[in-house]
């Protein structure tokens, strides 16, 4: 299963594991940076308030909160994943 980052890269003909800055994503998609920063802010908020929705490092659902933070995506990874999902779906 491809992640949203991989799908977005595939959509634009890039290597599927290429990382992007917000500036690069703006150039690719045309979405303003301020909107991506709002999505990032909401992603960090969701991380803080709803840990059950945060995926594990293998992107599987984390229904058992006892699995520990070390197995979860970090706040930054989670918010960046939200940006990629937003851009791919819009």
pLDDT one-digit tens code per residue, 37-88:
999 999 888 888 876 777 666 666 655 655 555 677 788 888 998 999 999 9
Using DSSP, state whether 72 is helix, strand or coil.
Answer: strand
pLDDT one-digit tens code per residue, 2-44:
889 999 999 999 999 999 999 999 999 999 999 999 999 998 8
The number of C-alpha atoms within 13 Å of 17 and in the hemisphere containing its C-beta is 0
What is the C-alpha separation between 68 and 37, in angstroms, rounded? 27
Residue 87 burial class via C-beta count within 10 angstroms: exposed 0-12, middle 13-18, buried 19 and up: buried
What is the C-alpha separation between 17 and 55, in angstroms, rounded? 18
pLDDT of residue 29: 95
pLDDT of residue 49: 83
pLDDT of residue 45: 87
Which is nearest to 44 in space by CA: 79, 72, 84?
Answer: 79
pLDDT of residue 50: 77
- The answer to whether the pTM exceeds 0.85 is no
């Amino acid at each position: 299963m491809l992640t949203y980052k991989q799908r977005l890269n595939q959509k634009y003909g890039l290597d599927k594991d290429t990382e992007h800055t917000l500036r690069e994503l703006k150039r690719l998609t045309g979405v303003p940076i301020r909107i991506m920063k709002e999505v990032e802010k909401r992603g960090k908020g969701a991380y803080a308030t709803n840990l059950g929705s945060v995926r594990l490092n293998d992107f599987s659902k984390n229904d058992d909160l006892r699995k520990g933070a070390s197995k979860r995506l970090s706040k930054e990874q989670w918010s960046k994943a939200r940006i990629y999902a937003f851009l791919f779906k819009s």
